[in-house]
Structure 1
């Protein structure tokens, strides 16, 4: 599987670590930055990872910032991205199984390396279950389409 990773300065170190874990698990890694601990803006990296997933350069994405909130909100602004901010491996597994999450967000200053590794492994080890979740995912897509259609030009 090909994974796109992106992080701001707060997530830089953990991004690098998790990219190494992903490689050790046999996955191909697309590192979209940041490439230093210098201050940068998380929306740039959320968008880069989202675009990589949407255009097929990556199967899944992983984004990190200090608490994961800003970068996950930004990623979820992109139609077709279902970014899940996870703090547990159980939540990561459910995100894949129930909503077919295609991007994982983590708060680098909220969880340690071991927990982050467990979350990443659970995210990668699970797949969308379909079934009753397909109906819910279709409704999610309907909400997304209505939101795009209602978007005000000056919003």
Structure 2
């Protein structure tokens, strides 16, 4: 697997001005490749933010030419699991590089949510903290303020509560 990506600003939500191209010589069934890419993007490019702004130009493409000579990888096989792990790794590393290279970026933060009721709740909580201007200000000033993080989570919780 190899990959390259471009992006600098407007990196949220869902890729924004990001362009990424991943190539492989694996022989893999088309539907399996599509599913693997979607899973990898969900864990990587769809979880990054720089400025919280969005645009209309975004894409992640994966190309597989089958030149490796392996038996075709299909869904539900050990080959799919192995390819998925490798694709996840490439996408996560490229996504981190995009954030580190973001317009005006001076810090790189990785947010980990533990104990959430679901993966979706964890995703929402992480993005609430990551997109909070108060949290960004605190880290930019090198004064990580737990109150601002808790505030970002509290605002997110109130939005959920109203929606229920």
**Fold in common (TM above 0.5):** no
TM interval, short-chain normalised? under 0.3
- In terms of Rg, which structure is larger? 2
